[in-house]
Amino acid sequence: MRIEDKKVLATLRDLGVELKSAASLTDITYLGIGGTTDLLRLTRHESIPEVVKLLESNGIPFKFLGGGSNLLVADNVLPWVVMQLAQPDPDVVIEGNIATVDAAADLGRTVTMCAKHDLGGMEGLIGVPGTVGGALRMNAGAYGIQIGNYVREVKVYRGGARIIETLKGDQISFEYRHTSFAPDDMMLAVKLELPSKPFREILQGIRICNEKRRASQPLGQKSAGCIFKNPPGASAGRMIDELGLKGFSVGDARVSDRHANFFVNAGKASARDMLALIADVRERVQKAYGFELENEVVVWNA
């Protein structure tokens, strides 16, 4: 979708919005899949309600985009524009055991920054791709660690109320790969309270987690991480593997040879290819094991 109204474009500039016309989401998403649309990069949190009001009053549909790490976007020209936070400098501020982090900050860099100040607890998240905002929305976790455990406060744009508010950690429900944030909420910043740890101890934990990832995940390939959530008491990856589906493909969308719950873009996979692969694997697991696998990857259908 293109914004062509000159008054709208001028107002966006006044609100500190950087516009990239006809941006390809294949260049933004970790899967390397997605159509084209106008990308609005927001440099000021406080302008978001006004930007939303402007778009809605002019009949321009929109979606909020984080880092694009856990996302599968439809092909071709998209019927909505995309809004994304621009990364500020600095994006992490540390005072004592509290790290105040902008939602646009890279998650891995945040873990490293905190470690340098002898703040640990998030070692397992070092290799999880994407932004802190995306990690908050999905309550990202790995190796027994979930980001929600350390959240003390979140600044969020509430899509339903069209306001920015700050929520205390106990006002938010953090569950396995799920939070109580609404789909049209946009994470803006978070305060994390982290335990003190010696830097060497944190670094050793990071090294162990990185070694595990290198041994089991298709690093260096285009993927969105785990495609399916693990059902209670079961492993989606193990079931897919037991069905002999590693390497199974639809077009250039393929089940990873290294980790069966990672689906990779092995070339120029389309969203249609990836969705067909997801549907096929889900059906096979349901027939063989009786589990209806739920997506962990977020799908934007046009």
Which active-site residues does the annotation give?
177, 226
What tokens does 124 get?
A: 């397992």
* Cis? peptide before 232, omega within 30° of 0: no
Strand partners, 106: 131
Q: Are 194 and 99 in contact (CB under 8 A)?
A: yes
78 burial (CB, 10 Å; 0-12 / 13-18 / 19+) is buried
To the nearest 10 degrees (0 to 180), the angle between helices 48-57 and 6-14 is 170
SS3 221: coil
Cα 140 to Cα 296: distance, rounded to the nearest angstrom: 11
Pairing of strands 298-300, 71-73: parallel
Query: Is the torsion defined by CA of 18, 31, 233, 279 positive or negative?
Result: positive
Give the alpha-carbon dihedral of 174, 177, 181, 183, to 10 degrees.
-170
